[in-house]
Amino acid sequence: MIVRPQQNWFRLLFVWKGSVLQTIVPQLVFMFLVGLLALRTDGKVFGEKVPLNTIPFTLVGVALTIFLAFRNNASYDRYWESRKMWGNIVVSLRSLASQVICYLPADASEFDRLQFIRRLIAFAHALNHQLRKTDSSGPLSSYLPPEDAKSLSGKHFQPVAILHGMRSTLAEMQKAGHISDTRLWMMDAQLNELGAMVAGCERIASTPIPLAYGVLLHRTVYAYCVLLPFGLVDSIGIATPFISVFVSYTLIALEAIASDISEPFGKAPNNLALDAITRNIERSLLELCEQAIPEEMVVDSDYQLT
């Protein structure tokens, strides 16, 4: 996720780090060369004049803008829904940790409470790594007993397995009479909420926007941008390459942003900062236990928070 301090209107015009512009420079250079070609040949291809003017581009441009808006809205819906689900995860983990600390009886050892909350932290790390398809062995070995971390190493759905283990622990304590039925129900409701958020994240991660939409939009944008100089050259002359690049920047950048945020759990610059969210969960739960907390994650030199 790109995190920059607030810029005034003038400096914002020249922002480079964190801008999608740096990823689409090759495409814009290509469009500028096409504009120069149209200007040099006076809008001719193989000696034949391309019979284009601004009218068809106006009509197609309106339709293309609507389609781009639809794609961006669909992508942002996925991005924002993912962020809300992780927000719900934070709420449920904090609530469950507080309930464990406050509701377990005095004769329950502090180690059991702390170990349970360390499993909550391991759950957040496991979900983060599952969504990003990265190795979770490091965080799990830090927060789980060696035998538990080893048993999870071969599992495909580690967050679900951790939730199952915590529910089993609570069930055993209820059978032993350490937790009343009401308090068990309260804590089990938080586990259910966490399970629902895991399923929601898996749904987004495993169901991309249909490829046909992306292919159609990609082809239409580039066809429009390549033909645009030949429709402008008669009306604006020497300004054709520059206006073509400006219009191309708008359309290609919108497509690039939509592509980035449609997969919110990745590590692209505009994806969710899952590592930072997980670190905040870790810090928050350890603070509830009055344990030492790790440093907060900070933005790197490229204004990116992973």
Cα 141 to the chain's mean position, in Å?
Answer: 26
What per-residue confidence (pLDDT) applies to 232? Answer: 87
- Cα diameter, the chain: 92
Is the model more confident about 179 or about 121?
121
Whether residue 166 is predicted with pLDDT greater than 90 in this model: the reply is yes
- Find, among 233, 228, 232, the residue nearest to 248 by Cα: 228
Give pLDDT tens digits for 134-145. Answer: 988 898 998 998
What per-residue confidence (pLDDT) applies to 111? Answer: 46
What per-residue confidence (pLDDT) applies to 198? Answer: 97
- Find, among 205, 203, 209, 244, the residue nearest to 227 by Cα: 244
> H helices of 104-145, where?
110-132, 137-143
Global pTM exceeds 0.85 = yes
Burial 43-53 (b: 16+ CB within 10 A, else e): beeeeeebebe
Instruction: Please state, rounded to an integer, the average pLDDT across all residues of the chain.
Output: 88
Bridge partner list, 48: 45
Cα 230 to Cα 37: distance, rounded to the nearest angstrom: 9
What per-residue confidence (pLDDT) applies to 162? Answer: 95
- Find, among 301, 298, 302, the residue nearest to 276 by Cα: 298
CA atoms within 13 A on the CB side of 85: 26
Cβ-count burial of 185 within 10 angstroms (0-12 exposed, 13-18 middle, 19+ buried)? exposed
Is the model more confident about 218 or about 305?
218
Ranking 56-70, 74-88, 244-258 by mean pLDDT, the lowest is: 56-70
Residue 300 phi/psi, 5-degree rounding, is -80, -175
Compute CA distances 248 → 14, 24, 60, 226, 305, whole Å.
18, 10, 14, 9, 29
Q: Which two tokens stand for residue 294?
A: 């790790």
Confidence of residue 269 (pLDDT cuts 50, 70, 90): confident
What per-residue confidence (pLDDT) applies to 191? Answer: 96
Count how many residues are written for the chain: 306
Cα 234 to Cα 185: distance, rounded to the nearest angstrom: 74
Is the model more confident about 36 or about 22?
36
Region of residue 237 (phi > 0: left; psi between -120 and 50: alpha; otherwise: beta):
left
Q: Which two tokens stand for residue 263?
A: 């997969």
Is the model more confident about 70 or about 112?
70
Give the residue-averaged pLDDT of 253-257. Answer: 91
Give pLDDT tens digits for 227-244. Answer: 899 888 888 889 999 999
Residues 6+ apart with CB under 8 A from 289: 97, 101, 113, 114, 117
- Find, among 39, 7, 72, the residue nearest to 270 by Cα: 72
Whether residue 126 is predicted with pLDDT greater than 70 in this model: the reply is yes
Q: Which two tokens stand for residue 64?
A: 């293309």
Fill in the DSSP letter of residue 162: H
CA atoms within 13 A on the CB side of 249: 13
What per-residue confidence (pLDDT) applies to 110? Answer: 46
Cα 142 to Cα 29: distance, rounded to the nearest angstrom: 49
Give pLDDT tens digits for 51-79. Answer: 777 778 888 888 888 888 888 999 999 99
Confidence of residue 107 (pLDDT cuts 50, 70, 90): low
Whether residue 154 is predicted with pLDDT greater than 70 in this model: the reply is yes
